[in-house]
Amino acid sequence: MKAGDILATQSSGFVSKVIRLGTGGEWSHVAIATSNNKILEAVKSDNNEEPHDVREITLNNFLKDKSKVILLNRPNKLTGNEHAKLMRFSTETKIKDYTWMHALATTILPLYKIVLMIVFISSIFTISTENLSVYFGLLGVVSAFLFGVYQLMALATRSSFGVETTEKIYSKCSLGRYLVRKKYDMFCSKLVLLADREIDGQLSKALQYEDEVQPTQIVELCKSLCWEVQYITTPSK
């Protein structure tokens, strides 16, 4: 392992299973190596001794409670300047907290598709022919509403005008100010993508929206860029 490499994991926990189900992938967590034995990750800490949720830990500590781990080897070793940028990024982001809202949001739309498919299939056998037009009309209205909400969310997070305007509106109340602050906190795949962007890596050129990126997208992109995949034995095996 070297600085700039990426690790992807899964565990037997409930949250890991939900993320993998929602994203349709094999991996629920990603992190980036800052040296041959240190890893930078964003994870909700259950330890009161940890002041923040973005932390740098040893490889042995990282592997605890993991059921499956792969190491994605960056093709080229980081230059001295790139490594300095990565370490500066690590220092600056350690003050960040974990945002479960944004992490959960990356699974909501995929899960909605699954639920919608189940409802659609079951309704074929339960709704009478006379009510089909009403049902599909209602389904169309709901889908149009959700599409509109998605477009507004995309505007708020993807364009500089949208982000600035949204933050001004939200900042008029305490809840809105809280949501604005949480927007700049981290979840695992967002942290990895921003770290790669800091060192001018290839990942951020293909995955532009850090608030929407999923662990499985990070892994699949690394594979498509011909990063070497190495399976790591966990302490539980």
DSSP per-residue string spanning 64-126 = TT-SEEEEEE-SSPPPHHHHHHHHHHHHHHTTPPB-HHHHHHHHHHHHHHHHHHHHHHHHHHH
Point out the least confidently predicted range of 38-42, 155-159, 210-214: 155-159
More confident position, 81 or 157:
81
CA distance 198 to 115: 37
- Check whether 47 has a pLDDT greater than 80: no
CA 54 to chain centre: 14
The CATH class that applies to domain 6-99+187-232 reads alpha beta
User: pTM of the predicted model, to two decimals?
Assistant: 0.76
Beta bridge partners of 73: 228
* 27 and 223 Cβ atoms separated by less than 8 Å: no
* pLDDT band at residue 71 using 50, 70 and 90 as cut-offs: very high
As a whole number of Å, the end-to-end CA separation of the chain is 20
- Give me the pLDDT at residue 88, please: 97
Q: HSE on the CB side for 189, CA within 13 Å? A: 32
| Cα gap 3→155, rounded to integer Å | 34
Give the single-character DSSP code of 236: T
Strand ranges across the sheet with 68-73: 54-58, 38-42, 29-33, 6-10, 68-73, 228-232
Return d(Cα 133, Cα 171) in angstroms, integer. 43
DSSP string, 180-204: HHHHTSB-HHHHHHHHHHHTT-SHH
Q: How confident is the model at residue 212 (pLDDT cuts 50, 70, 90)?
A: confident
pLDDT band at 176 (very low <50, low <70, confident <90, very high): confident
Higher pLDDT: 59 or 235? It is 59
Q: Which residue, among 179, 228, 220, has the nearest Cα to 26 in the 3D structure?
A: 220
Does 77 score more than 70 pLDDT?
A: yes
Tell me how far apart the alpha carbons of residues 203 and 222 are, in angstroms, rounded to a whole number: 7
Residue boundaries of the structural domains of the chain: 6-99+187-232, 102-183
Higher pLDDT residue, 128 or 181? 181
Please list, in sequence order, all residues whose beta carbon lies within 8 angstroms of the beta carbon of residue 40, skipping any fewer than 6 positions away: 31, 32, 33, 34, 54, 55, 56, 90, 93, 191, 195
pLDDT of residue 231: 95
Q: Which residue has the higher pLDDT, 25 or 148?
A: 25
* Mean pLDDT for the stretch of residues 9-13: 91
Q: Which two tokens stand for residue 96?
A: 């960040």
CB contact at 8 A, 188 and 102 = no
